[in-house]
């Protein structure tokens, strides 16, 4: 499984401040990365295509790719992924609905990201039971009544739909590192449980603060992570080392 959370084409400079002082490389240090693109959308998409084609070469026939973006460029990225992987490889447009944050006064508040899910072949791994959610009391009451029931009384859980309700990290969250654009471990754990087998490997080639790697280690999967930002690597190493010590 490959999950990537690359720059979003925001044309902004992202900045945070580390909350941890264990490493001299990141203590009291502003964490920055640039999401500006001189070539505009065309330049960004040309860059993204190179990344996607490289990942297409390393994924196994039963593997999956998850591309995490937001409203800025995801509509063009979907067309690009259809070109690279083939439209038949597309499985889901997952919506990460996080609710948290400020509210807009002038339009509907933007409270979701999009995760495009592509499978490398028809026999891709998917374990719905690992992330199954309880059916509603109304559904189970209908099943027990026997009138118009479409499910058995033993069918108490179902696969979640394509809207993932996982809160974003609040400023005081224990797992927050201060790295900008950090994602919650809970979100990555859901994706890994569903799409990476117990003996599988998860790769994140834009690992940032290392959330994907932490989730993979907690779930006993192998993992590969890299990033061009030295601060990101320092934070990811620290988190993984702390997790190993606690284990």
9 HSE (CA, 13 A, CB side): 20
Check: CB of residue 7 under 8 Å from CB of residue 33.
Answer: yes
Of 98, 100, 111, whose CA–CA distance to 71 is shortest?
111
- 141-174 pLDDT, tens digit per residue, is 777 776 666 778 888 888 899 999 999 998 889 9
Task: Enumerate the domain spans of the chain.
Answer: 2-246
CA distance 69 to 246: 32
CA distance 18 to 26: 6
Give the pLDDT of residue 201.
Answer: 98
Alpha helices in 20-123 (DSSP H): 40-58, 74-85
Select the more confidently predicted residue: 138 or 27.
Answer: 138
Of 39, 51, 45, 74, whose CA–CA distance to 4 is shortest?
51
- 174-218 pLDDT, tens digit per residue, is 999 988 889 999 999 999 999 999 999 999 999 999 999 999 999
CA distance 245 to 247: 5
Question: What does CATH list as the number for 2-246?
Answer: 3.40.50.150
Kindly tell me the burial class for residue 82, based on how many C-beta atoms sit within 10 Å of its own C-beta (0-12, 13-18, 19 or more): middle
Q: Residue 102 above 80 pLDDT?
A: no
Mean pLDDT of 31-56: 91
N residues, the chain: 247
């Amino acid at each position: 499984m490959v999950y990537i959370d690359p720059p979003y084409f925001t044309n902004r400079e992202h900045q945070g401040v580390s909350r941890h002082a264990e490493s001299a490389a990141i203590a009291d240090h502003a964490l920055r990365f640039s999401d500006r693109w001189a070539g505009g959308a065309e330049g960004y998409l040309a860059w993204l295509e190179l990344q996607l084609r490289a990942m297409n070469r390393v994924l196994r026939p039963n593997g999956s790719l998850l591309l995490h973006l937001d409203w800025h460029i995801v509509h063009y990225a979907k067309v690009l992924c259809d070109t690279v992987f083939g439209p038949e490889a597309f499985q889901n447009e997952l919506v990460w609905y996080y609710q948290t944050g400020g509210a807009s006064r002038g339009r509907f508040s933007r409270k979701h990201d999009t995760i495009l899910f592509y499978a490398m072949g028809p026999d891709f791994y998917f374990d719905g039971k690992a992330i199954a959610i309880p059916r509603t009391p109304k559904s189970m009451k209908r099943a027990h009544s026997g009138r118009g029931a479409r499910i058995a009384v033993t069918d108490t859980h179902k696969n979640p739909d394509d809207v993932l309700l996982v809160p974003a990290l609040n400023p005081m969250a224990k797992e927050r590192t201060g790295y900008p654009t950090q994602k919650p471990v809970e979100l990555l754990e859901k994706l890994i449980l569903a799409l990476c087998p117990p003996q599988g490997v998860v790769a994140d080639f834009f690992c940032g603060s290392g959330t994907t790697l932490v989730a993979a280690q907690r779930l006993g999967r192998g993992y590969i992570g890299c990033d061009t930002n030295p601060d990101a690597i320092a934070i990811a190493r620290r988190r993984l080392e702390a997790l190993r010590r606690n284990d």
